[in-house]
A and B are shown apart, each in its own frame.
Chain A
Amino acid sequence: MATVTSSTSSADCLRSGSDSSSDEVLLEVQDLTVEFHTDDGIVHAVSNMSWDINEGETLAILGESGSGKSVSVQAVMGLLPTPPAVIAGGSIRYRGTELVGASSDTLRSIRGSEVAMIFQDPLSALNPVYRVGWQIAETFRIGKRMSRKEANGRAIELMGRVGIPNPEQRARQYPHQFSGGMRQRAMIAMALALEPKVLIADEPTTALDVTVQAQIMDLLSKIQSENRMGLILITHDLGVVASVADRVVVMYAGRAVESGPADDFYAKPAHPYSQGLLSSVPKISGPTGKLNSIEGTPPSVIELPSGCAFHPRCPHSVDRCHSQAPELTAITDRTGHSACFLTEELL
């Protein structure tokens, strides 16, 4: 299914290999550009970003906070506050239906039932004044027009399935009576209620204890394979997704700088930024000493550096990087893509 086009678009670049070509492309984001028009100027939150996701596949979108990873998926769900957010260009297609500029009814029919989402902080993401069971049941009642009683039964069943003990009793409790991990399980139950084809998890483990993080990741990946969903994991924590991601996209200052199969990325990152990111992950084995870090700070998204946005922090930058922005281009001899003039030299 991968058709190579000559445009600067990189949607095709991210398509998985031939082994999964029988799987349907669910979401396809192409050249997405999102801006925030604020009093301080235009924030270029996402620029020309492209990715897609297939049935039964896990895509990890990696990057530091402020790199635009959350914005790019909230745009998919139509959850960005407009104004100030403006989708300035590109397209988002869900199984062929264009979502950019779609009516609010179209977007609503996709939300929850086709594409569902869970968020970073499950305490603030749950309504404090309603019982957890009620909030899950609401999805059934509105999405499937179920009766109160039937919806409630389904909510309890679902809470049990995501590993909440005593679901019947837990359903009658309020979010603040749940632990962090249990809240995230409740969020997952809510997201799964309408059996969506795509689940977007925006930093799902960031607010949780390390031990709970692994449990939630296991649960997500178990559900993903059972339901053959497309799972999009957004995180700044490279360790969390290493074992579950099929493909990764690395974002820097609103742009995708590298993309490709997760195995290749973790074994041999191509872009200097990816290399920096991976070398700054602390390792349990190996020599002890000073932890690597990337020099400098992420750029202001209002005034991006000229040329390659990463050049002021890049240890390899050459003159060309200061004036010219590299496109995402295929890496020779492997399936990935990198937006760097020096990719071939550095690998």
Chain B
Amino acid sequence: MLRYFFRRVVQLIPVFFITTFLIFLVVRIIPGDPIQAQFGERRIPENLRAAYIERYHFNEPLWKQYFLYMRDVLSFDLGDSVASQRPINDIFREAIPRSATLAGLSVFFVALFSIPMGIFSARHKNSKADNSFLVITLIMLAIPPFVLGLLAQLFFGLRWNLFPISGVGEGLYSYILPALVISTSLMAIESRLMRTTLLDTFREDYLRTARAKGLTEGRVFRIHALRNALIPIVTVLGIDFGALLGGTIVTESVFNIPGIGFQITRAIVQRDTTIITGISIFLVMAYLLINLLVDMIYAWLDPRIRYD
């Protein structure tokens, strides 16, 4: 297990440097002058421009800019926002917990819905309930998140007054509605995944062995079928969490949650290059680390991976 862990960590290092360099490169080669962008139509005084160039090393060759930037990143200093001059670390300190809460709650809802629903569908394969559930999942997949978000705000927020519809003023409660909106399509996909893997597991020879041993149907299902069928879904839930950390831009905007997605939208509009790069690199790191964690969980659940 430990060897597997170290091998995976070593694999992360080149991935980290290549992706961060690409991000750095893309942000730098966007046409237009990032300094001018901060001043709109106004002329920039020469001394101010010189100060910017000095500060962000714009006069250095690109590889050196990247090197200097990474030196700061690796000492956990992401610099200041070009637009607001606020330290990016401060912006992150506010935004990351919000996005993590939203992503975490969404994944929790997905698990809470998909696992029991998938189990139910698999155990009642091709029944009326299973077939109507297939139709429902297709509808859940077909509605775009912003439409779903607006509908949820209209009904659950304004009409029935059940949930707050904007901001994070009411703590965890404020996150429930946006998390449900985010998780809807994932619930649909993952309940189907749970159904399929469970049906595949039902055909496994080791279930016949378990029955031949004289185990009850309940134990055959819980201990022998479910344990195996949960491996793929746990993995996918972990990957979802990583993807949702930065991938909730639309929903964060609709519900006015100042998280990572919200910050990156603002940064792109304002051409705030340091924030764009900082958030992108944070997301890459978060995604890589979560994937590492998922792989560890996967190896823990499936000994065939662990002992290869």
Q: What is A's interface to B at a CB cutoff of 8 Å?
A: 77, 79, 104, 108-113, 116-117, 119, 121, 124-129, 138-139, 142-143, 174, 176-177, 187, 190-191, 193-194
Q: Give the residues in chain B near A191, CB-CB below 8 Å.
A: 212
B209 touches A119 (CB 8 A): yes
The reply to whether A126 and B214 contact each other, CB–CB distance below 8 Å, is no
Residues on the A chain within 8 Å of B224, using CB: 127
CA distance A187 to B213 in the complex (A): 11
Closest to B231 in A: A129
Asked if B123 is an interface residue, CB under 8 A from chain A, the answer is no
A125 and B206 contact, CB distance less than 8 A? yes
Q: Can you report 30 residue pairs joining A to B where beta carbons are below 8 Å apart? A: A79-B211, A104-B217, A108-B215, A108-B216, A111-B211, A111-B213, A112-B214, A124-B205, A124-B206, A125-B205, A126-B206, A126-B209, A127-B209, A128-B206, A129-B227, A129-B231, A129-B302, A138-B215, A139-B213, A139-B214, A142-B214, A142-B219, A143-B213, A143-B214, A174-B307, A176-B303, A176-B307, A190-B213, A193-B213, A194-B214
A-B pair number, CB within 8 angstroms: 76
With A128-B228, A138-B213, A143-B214 given, can you name 18 additional A-B contacts, CB distance below 8 Å?
Answer: A79-B211, A108-B216, A110-B214, A112-B214, A119-B208, A121-B205, A125-B209, A126-B209, A129-B303, A138-B215, A138-B223, A142-B214, A142-B215, A174-B304, A174-B307, A176-B307, A177-B307, A190-B213
CA distance A124 to B307 in the complex (A): 18
User: Is A129 a contact partner of B301 (Cβ separation < 8 A)?
Assistant: yes
A116 (CB) vs chain B CBs: closest residue: B212
Determine whether B176 belongs to the interface, using a CB cutoff of 8 Å to chain A.
no
Most buried by A among B204, B208, B215, B307: B208
A194 to B212, CA, bound (A): 12
A-B pairs, top 5 by smallest CB distance, nearest first, are: A112-B214, A124-B205, A111-B214, A127-B206, A174-B303
Please give, as numbers and ranges, the residues of chain A lying within 8 Å of B210 by CB-CB distance: 127
Question: Interface size of B by Cβ–Cβ distance < 8 Å?
Answer: 24
Inter-subunit contact B307/A129 (CB<8 Å): no
Q: How far is the CB of A175 from chain B (nearest CB, A)?
A: 9
Rounded to whole angstroms, the CA-CA distance of A129 and B224 in the bound complex is: 9
Contacts A112-B214, A113-B214 known; A128 to B209 CB distance under 8 Å?
no
Name the B residues within 8 Å of A143 (CB-CB).
Answer: 213-214
Chain A, residue nearest B205 (CB): A124
What residues of chain B lie closer than 8 Å to A113, measured between beta carbons?
214
**A129 touches which of B213, B219, B228 (Cβ 8 Å):** B228
Residue of B nearest to A77 (CB): B212
Complex Cα distance, B228 from A128, in Å, reads 8
Q: How far is the CA of A190 from the CA of B214 in the complex (A)?
A: 11
1/0 contact string of B199-242 vs chain A (CB within 8 Å): 00000111011111111110100011001100100000000000
B125 shortest CB reach to chain A, Å: 11
Q: In the complex, how many angstroms separate the beta carbon of B281 from the nearest chain A beta carbon?
A: 37
Segment 257-308 of B: residues with Cβ below 8 Å from A = 301-304, 307
- The docked-state distance in angstroms from the alpha carbon of A129 to that of B212 is 18
| Nearest residue, chain A, Cβ from B302 | A129
**Residues of A contacting B301 with CB < 8 Å?**
129
Using Cβ atoms and an 8 Å threshold, which residues of chain B touch A127?
A: 206, 209-210, 224, 228
How far is A108 from B214 in the complex, measured between Cα atoms in Å? 5
In chain B, residues 162-213, which have Cβ atoms closer than 8 Å to a Cβ of chain A? 204-206, 208-213
Query: Which residues of chain A come closer than 8 Å to B307, judged between CB atoms?
Result: 174, 176-177
A119 to B209, CA, bound (A): 8
Q: How many Å lie between the Cα of A79 and that of B206 in the bound state? A: 12
Q: Is the CB of A112 within 8 A of B213?
A: yes
Shortest distance between the CB of A162 and any CB in chain B (Å): 16
Residues of B within 8 A of A119 (CB): 205, 208-209
Are the CB atoms of B212 and A79 closer together than 8 Å? yes
Tell me the nearest residue of chain A to B207, going by C-beta.
A127
A124–B215 alpha-carbon span in the complex (Å): 18
Nearest to A126 among chain B residues (CB) is B206
Determine how close the nearest CB of chain A comes to the CB of B1; give it in whole angstroms. 13
Min Cβ gap B297→A in Å is 13
**Chain B residue contacts of A142, Cβ below 8 A:** 213-215, 219
What is the distance, in angstroms, from B130's C-beta to the closest C-beta of chain A? 16
Q: How far is the CA of A143 from the CA of B204 in the complex (A)?
A: 22
A185 to chain B, nearest CB (A): 15
Residues in chain B near residue A194, CB distance under 8 A: 214
Query: CA of A190 to CA of B231 in the docked complex: distance in angstroms?
Result: 25
A341 smallest CB distance to B (angstroms): 39
Measured in the bound complex, the distance between the Cα atoms of B307 and A125 in whole Å is 20
Q: How far is the CA of A129 from the CA of B231 in the complex (A)?
A: 10
The CA-CA distance from A112 to B214 in the complex, in Å, is 5
Q: Which A residue sits closest to B303, measured CB to CB?
A: A174
Taking the closest CB of chain A, its distance from the CB of B192, in whole angstroms, is 23
Closest beta carbon of chain A to B47's beta carbon, Å: 67
Q: What's the Cα separation between A120 and B308 when bound, in Å?
A: 25
A176 to B303, CA, bound (A): 9
Residues in chain A near residue B209, CB distance under 8 A = 119, 125-127, 187, 190
With A129-B301, A174-B303, A176-B303 known as contacts, the answer to whether A117 contacts B206 (CB < 8 A) is no
Chain A nearest CB from B19 CB (Å) reads: 33
CB distance from A97 to the nearest CB of B (A): 15
